[in-house]
Amino acid sequence: MMATKMFKKILIANRGEIACRVIQTAKKLGIKTVAVYSEADKEARHVQLADEAIFIGPAPSRESYLVIDRIIQACKDTGAQAVHPGYGFLSENEQFAKRCEDEGIVFIGPKYQSIAAMGDKIASKKLAIEAKVNTIPGHNAAIATTEEAVKIAQGIGYPVMIKASAGGGGKGLRVASNDKEAAEGFAACKTEAMNSFGDDRIFIEKFVEGPRHIEIQVLGDSHGNVVYLNERDCSIQRRHQKVIEEAPSPFIDPATRKAMGEQAVALAKAVNYQSAGTVEFVVGKDKSFYFLEMNTRLQVEHPVTESITGLDLVEQMIRVAAGEKLAFKQEDVKLDGWSMECRINADDPFRNFLPSIGRLVKYRPPESINGVRVDTGVYEGGEIPMYYDSMIAKLIVHGKDRSEAIHKMRAALNDFVIRGIHSNIPFQAALLQHPRFISGDFTTGFIAEEYPEGFKKDSVQPADPKRMAALAAFMRYRYLEHIKMIDGQLAGHEMVIAKKFVVVTGAQVGSMKDPYEVPIRVELKDSIYSIYIEEPDAISRYDIVSDWRPGQICLNATINGTQKVTAQVERRGVKFLLVLDGAHYECMVLSPLGAELQRRMPVKIPPDTSKLVISPMPGLLTKMAVKVGDIVTGGQKLASIEAMKMENTISAIQDGVVAEVCAKEGESLAVDQLILRFK
């Protein structure tokens, strides 16, 4: 093995959880770290964790994290010998990698020639064909016009996939099933690609129906060694963005794994690949597989591979960049147990996953113990800015098999506390309970097929109302016990806790359409709270054991001796909110008389907003497509709002005439800000 010298200081040209992740491994290796930050990130977690931090510009990434000159200058100013690009931003920019090399700075990633060859999806497909890697039929040259795109799509045969050559992360990608979708998708992909990557070249290929998205992790060194580190199944996607990733795949058998791995290695060797990289495949029902693209960087979902192999991929990247030879061979690669990752994003699943930005009023991820790991770049009290992607954290679990991994993930999601903004945790929880997911029988179309109308509150598997009522009554009783402890009560008139309650849900609480009342009796003996639900036809008993105290946001309890439950709970005035497995249960726990009076209370009717178009998210109004007096039909585009690097289209839900335009192009919108009013 050649003698190598490890770096003393590296700069991380990124932000958020991946910057924190690289800092963690660098510290383990005794390497000093330099963070870079924009105006929006001056108090970010990665800035606090690094040994040094350098300001590089305004909040928009094109003025900070994407400015190569500023990153290079930061390396020179701090004496950083190498730069780790993370993922996104400049991680797959061959100009940046070459500039680093020209300046004598080591790029912790592949050589710029490999990035150039694989980063361009058109060129990479041609190289894959030469390396005898299976590829999908399609048009491999850049397409100039919408008319040409439609004609090519017709020639290939629908459905087709329209892709930005420099795309990634679901940006610059659309699936089209007809001429109209092809034309609209081509235009949208060009816009997104130019905004995100500065490159609007588009190509089209056949879309494999009923596909799985499976990727092979590869690792190469500068001595000609390349190995594959098993596969990851990333088929659970929403609009081509990964939601849940797992390793290994429940679909792939050892023979297919070996064949895919060997093709991935052949492609990596064809471009002299030296670092961690990922070769992505689409896999059909018959286990036929086709090359999609190669990501010449670390992937968001790399932790699941680390979990089943025992390798630190960031460490391997650093060692390879320092000139070290891989310390293991293909036959040494392990496949230990099962791992899953849920991406915890700042978006609202009940409002079509619109971005949710603001302050993290409460942020308490589950502890990283017993096969649970959290990679994050935020902290309680910090801000989620509008300028970058929506990821809050990555929740990773490892179990002895897939069933145990699912169980651990469900428990960890229940214990993940986020307040102040919305998150996609309810959506993740619902997916993990879905029979198709549990069985492993899913494709990339799973989410679209199972939630064709979007994800609604009734999409979540409802919680057992009796069990939730019992937990709410337990909470109310604990609050009363706490009140009873107040000093100075008049002798002989001390507070006596009632035994009978009524749990009220439904329209009177604002949580459900139909009212539901549960009569309850509570008995306490030997620290066991016995909750009796006394209905006319039967009496149900729930024996609850818990050390929960009022004010705690997580309620850990054992019910009837065997059922272990973790629910997130809040008291909001006279109401109690419980969240379990993504299901929300809102109620009031009243005395029998209080319940009788509550029935007589009027219900407030919400105002009519049917003639208003309001902004569903904070963002930049990039396009106003209508003006006063325009006759609008249902489905027509009204406006475009850009938020978290994604363009969101606002469409009319019904016919109407525009009476007033209340916002201007270029204006920064707040959530629920009025955009249009109809007559």
Residue 21 carries which DSSP code?
H
DSSP string, 165-222: EEEETTEEEEEESSHHHHHHHHHHHHHHHHHHHS---EEEEEPPSS-EEEEEEEEE-T
Degrees to nearest 5, angle at CA 288 with 282 and 291:
40
Give the CB-side neighbour count of residue 568, counting CA atoms within 13 A. Answer: 22
- Residue 661's φ and ψ, nearest 5 degrees, are -100, 120
| Residue 515: CB atoms within 10 Å | 14
What is the C-alpha to C-alpha distance for residues 535 and 541, in angstroms, rounded to an integer?
A: 11
Contact 383, 361 (CB under 8 A): no
Using CA atoms, how far residue 107 sits from 94, 321, 425, 645, in Å, is 10, 7, 36, 26
Q: Please, what is the angle between helix 313-321 and helix 16-28, to 10°?
A: 70
Torsion sign (Cα): 169, 170, 171, 172? positive
Tokens of 442: 């899913």
Determine the longest span between alpha carbons in the chain, in angstroms. Answer: 92
- Write the CB contacts of 83 (distance below 8 Å, at least 6 apart in sequence): 10, 11, 12, 13, 71, 75, 100, 105, 106, 107, 108
Contact 222, 216 (CB under 8 A): no
Using CA atoms, how far residue 67 sits from 60, 77, 340, 440, in Å, is 11, 16, 34, 43
Phi-psi region of 88 (alpha: psi -120 to 50; beta: other; left: phi over 0): left
Partner residues linked to 614 by β-bridges: 674
Pairing of strands 9-12, 32-38: parallel
Give the residue among 220, 281, 219 at the shortest CA–CA distance from 252.
Answer: 281
| Residue 377: CB atoms within 10 Å | 23
Residues belonging to the active site:
293
- Write the CB contacts of 378 (distance below 8 Å, at least 6 apart in sequence): 16, 17, 44, 45, 360, 363, 384, 392, 393
Residue 400 carries which DSSP code?
S
Tokens of 118: 């694989």
Partner residues linked to 163 by β-bridges: 173, 203
- Write the CB contacts of 489 (distance below 8 Å, at least 6 apart in sequence): 495
The SS3 call for residue 500 is strand
Contact 626, 632 (CB under 8 A): yes
What is the C-alpha to C-alpha distance for residues 392 and 376, in angstroms, rounded to an integer?
A: 6
Residue 501 corresponds to which amino acid? F
Residue 349 carries which DSSP code?
G
